[in-house]
Structure 1
Amino acid sequence: MKIKFLTLMLMGMITAVGFSQSKEQTFDHAFAHVVYFWLKNPDSKADRAKFEASLQKFLDNSEYAKTKFIGKPPKAIRAVVDDSFTYSLILSFDSAEAQAAYQVEAPHLVFINECEDLWEKVIVYDSEGL
């Protein structure tokens, strides 16, 4: 009886994981937009909370960004890894035109207005897929 119960539980978990993974967006290789932010006060919990909330609000409302990833640097263990930034943002778009439209969409402009006083440096790397 226990074996049947455990088997059913395991099957249910595997099904749930498979279902949740199928809902994930796949990375669109047409156009990638990678942004690195260095906050003026990276140790300020208030600044981080404001930045994260505004960025998430922006991404939740962006019409053009497809894949959306917000990250923080892990502790670098190799000399080639730059962990000096505070946050990274990786987005993908259907095309360079969609990325250009994203630059002037209202949610993006609101994010910039709300947070530009928090960062001291921003670097952007854009790439078109091969």
Structure 2
Amino acid sequence: MKRGIITILLMISFMATSFAQVEDTMRTFDPAFSHTVFFWLKNPESSKDKAQFETSLKTFLQNSKYAKTNFIGTPPTATRDVVDGSFTYSLIVTFESAEAQEGYQKEKAHLIFIEECKDLWEKVIVYDSQGI
């Protein structure tokens, strides 16, 4: 009986810790300011270039002091004419303010990412939006 109770208590403790960790890592989308970036790599079929880009981008986002939430994506197979799937990667980052986004542009982690990856892309388009 004691073993059963101890097992249940350990399971509850483990689950509570796991949920707390998930909650810490899943930050809520901030509608104050979004920064959407589309990248077209020079060699989009190159596994090496893609791995370098993804590693550098993820490292940068993990070290950003300003980015609240982020999403890295690739284009799905387009099923409608209005969908532009010509890019290699998309990035959506949210910020608590336009000022925070300005800080992000100048922070060391962002500048390192640009330096490491600028030779990999042929085109970058950015769309910034403030919430209404």
TM range, smaller chain: 0.7 to 0.9
- 1:62 aligned to 2:64? yes
Equivalent residue number for residue 40 of structure 1: 42
Q: Which amino acid aligns with 2:72?
A: I
- Report the Cα distance in structure 1 between the residues aligned to 2:22 and 2:77, rounded to whole angstroms: 27
TM-score normalized by structure 2?
0.83
SS in 2 for 1:35: strand
Alpha-carbon displacement from aligned partner over 1:49-72 (angstroms, at most 9, x marks no partner)? 000000000001000000111000
In structure 1, stretches of 5+ residues that fail to align are 1-11
Query: What is the root-mean-square deviation in Å for CA atoms of aligned residues?
Result: 1.8
Which runs of structure 2 are paired with 1:8-23 in the superposition (5 Å)? 19=19, 22-23=23-24
TM-score, normalised to structure 1, is 0.84
Aligned residues: 117
Distance in 2 separating the partners of 1:90 and 1:119? 17
Q: 1:83 aligns with which of 68, 82, 85?
A: 85
What CA distance in whole angstroms lies between the structure 2 residues aligned with 1:96 and 1:86? 27
Partners in 2 of 1:82 and 1:73 — Cα distance? Answer: 8
Matched-pair identity in %: 64
